[in-house]
Amino acid sequence: MEKTLKIRDMELGTGMPKVCVPITGKDKAGILQETELALQAGADLIEWRADYYVDVDDVQKTAGLGRELRKKMGNKPILFTYRTEGTNHSIELEKYIRLNQSMVDAGDVDLLDIELFMGDEVCQDFCGYAHGKGKAVIISSHDFEKTPNEQEIVGRLCKMRTLGADVPKVAVMPKNAGDVLTLLSATNQYANAHADGPLITMSMKWLGGISRISGEIFGSALTFGSTMRVSAPGQLAIEDLKYILNVLHHSENQ
Ligand SMILES: O=C1C[C@@](O)(C(=O)O)C[C@@H](O)[C@@H]1O
């Protein structure tokens, strides 16, 4: 991997994978409390999973809460995500675009997650919009049923980058250990042969746990760790995650 991505105090794509805590609170008090816990636990950044927020339909309220999170986070980045894939949270496409654009306009989040399946044009236009206002974009794809083959995963990551993603991200579901190897191999292949910036991948559930701790070796720049609740199957508690990442990182000098 050649280039890193600097967002506020965080440099993505070098050294230990950065640890991101998903914030899945339903209301303002819960969201602020989870953010506080994430900071205390040493998160490098938070992902505000706004699809859990009860008032997400109110664009002004959502932007207002974004401002409060900004104040709490100091110079640590905020990733804004409205996840539909693998959830029962749905949103009309127009609202989805408007919500994400309004968070870009408000200026308090640094990175936004857009789902690949929303359409190539949606992704491309949104990347242009966000970049125009100095924000970075993750284009993401989740397969909660299976693990596609290596070529398909690499192809998806390449496509995301072509559409303008600063960071392409793929999460897949393993049925066996071979599937986990497929994800790791695709990550390694993309990182070595195609990447000109950071990428994020993970294999979910217990079986995929190894993919959440081995990013420094295979090329995934960020990993999700939980405090109160997991936002996807297989996420490790942040304390355990940080401990293992540290052990692996420092074992280099032994
Ligand atoms: O896309 C991802 C990755 C994730 O699904 C995981 O498996 O850790 C967790 C989500 O909160 C995040 O948006």
Asked if residue 253 has pLDDT above 80, the reply is no
pLDDT one-digit tens code per residue, 210-227: 999 999 999 999 999 999
Question: What mean pLDDT comes out for the span 111-133?
Answer: 98
pLDDT at 167: 98
Q: Residue 134: which region, alpha, beta or left (left: phi > 0; alpha: psi -120 to 50)?
A: left
Is 249 a catalytic site residue? no
Q: How confident is the model at residue 76 (pLDDT cuts 50, 70, 90)?
A: very high
pLDDT mean across residues, the chain? 96
Give the sheet arrangement for strand 45-49, strand by strand: 200-203, 167-172, 136-143, 111-115, 78-81, 45-49, 18-23, 222-226, 236-237
Identify the residue whose C-alpha is closest to ligand 1 atom 5: 232
pLDDT one-digit tens code per residue, 38-53: 999 999 999 999 999 9
- Is any atom of ligand 1 closer than 6 Å to the C-beta of 83? yes
224 CA from centroid of ligand 1 (Å) = 7
pLDDT one-digit tens code per residue, 154-179: 999 999 999 999 999 999 999 999 99
Residues in contact with 69: Cβ distance below 8 Å, sequence separation at least 6, in sequence order: 31, 32, 35, 46, 48, 78, 108, 109
21 CA from centroid of ligand 1 (Å) = 10
Q: Give me the catalytic one of 18, 76, 169, 242.
A: 169
Both structure tokens of 249: 């990182």
Q: Which class for 224: exposed (0-12), middle (13-18), buried (19 or more C-beta within 10 A)?
A: buried
Given the structure tokens 């127009």, which residue do they identify? Answer: 94
221 CA from centroid of ligand 1 (Å) = 13
Question: What mean pLDDT comes out for the span 126-155?
Answer: 98
pLDDT at 231: 85
pLDDT at 207: 97
- Is any atom of ligand 1 closer than 6 Å to the C-beta of 47? yes
Return d(Cα 178, Cα 9) in angstroms, integer: 37
pLDDT at 89: 87
Return d(Cα 9, Cα 162) in angstroms, integer: 26
Return d(Cα 59, Cα 51) in angstroms, integer: 13
- Is any atom of ligand 1 closer than 6 Å to the C-beta of 24? no
Q: Catalogue all structural domains in the chain, each as residue range(s) with its CATH number.
A: 16-243 (3.20.20.70)
Give the residue among 248, 236, 196 at the shortest CA–CA distance from 212: 236
Asked if residue 140 has pLDDT above 80, the reply is yes
Q: Which of 24, 145, 180, 224 to mutate to test the pocket of ligand 1 (most atoms within 8 A of CB)?
A: 224
Assembly ipTM: 0.97
Asked if residue 131 has pLDDT above 60, the reply is yes
Compute the Cα dihedral for 123, 190, 230, 103 and give only its sign: negative
Asked if residue 181 has pLDDT above 60, the reply is yes
Return d(Cα 122, Cα 117) in angstroms, integer: 9
Per the CB < 8 A criterion, the answer to whether 14 and 2 are in contact is no
**Percentage of the chain exceeding pLDDT 70:** 98
pLDDT at 2: 54
Is 142 a catalytic site residue? yes
Given the structure tokens 């805590």, which residue do they identify? Answer: 21
